[in-house]
Amino acid sequence: MIMLIPLLLLASAEPPYDCEIDQMTQQGMNYCAYQDYLVADAKLNAQWSKTATVMKQRDADFDSEYDDRPGYFDTLLAAQRAWIAYRDTQCASEGYYARGGSLEPLLVSTCKTKLTEDRTEQLRFLIEQ
């Protein structure tokens, strides 16, 4: 039952912290850093959709008669899966600086935001070539 209280706070209509003014407590910083990650992740997902569509079109346009390597999309998908595993373990590792402490979620979310923003740019670059 104790675990439900934090979930109920997150499920309420009003966010528990105003990230414009409430970043003075560790909980507020953790919450706001996670919100930043959610924004970055949404942008990544939007870019993924665009990039995946272009890669599928490149596969459709490509004559693979003399090239038996994986297609554009299959290669992109494998890279994305590897990147997700990298991001999650890299950021867990960075969080271990404060392992078990109240700072750990902030370190993990900040790392995930940075790596996710970088990956979004990488995905954008792939279709701008």
Q: Is residue 5 part of a domain?
A: no
Q: 77 is in which domain, residue-wise?
A: 19-64+71-128
What's the CA gap between 129 and 125, in Å, rounded? 7
Q: Which amino acid is at 48?
A: W
Q: Is residue 1 part of a domain?
A: no
Going by the DSSP 8-state scheme, the letter that residue 16 receives in this structure is S
What is the CATH classification number for the domain harbouring 78? Answer: 1.20.1270.180
- pLDDT number for residue 98: 97
Q: Is residue 24 part of a domain?
A: yes
Residue ranges in the chain whose pLDDT is less than 50? 1, 3-4
- pLDDT number for residue 120: 98
pLDDT digits (tens, 9 = 90+) for 18-33: 888 766 889 999 999 9
pLDDT digits (tens, 9 = 90+) for 30-55: 999 999 999 999 999 999 999 999 99
Give the contacts of 91 (CB within 8 A, at least 6 positions apart).
107, 108, 111, 112, 115
Q: Is the pTM higher than 0.75?
A: yes
Q: Is residue 6 part of a domain?
A: no
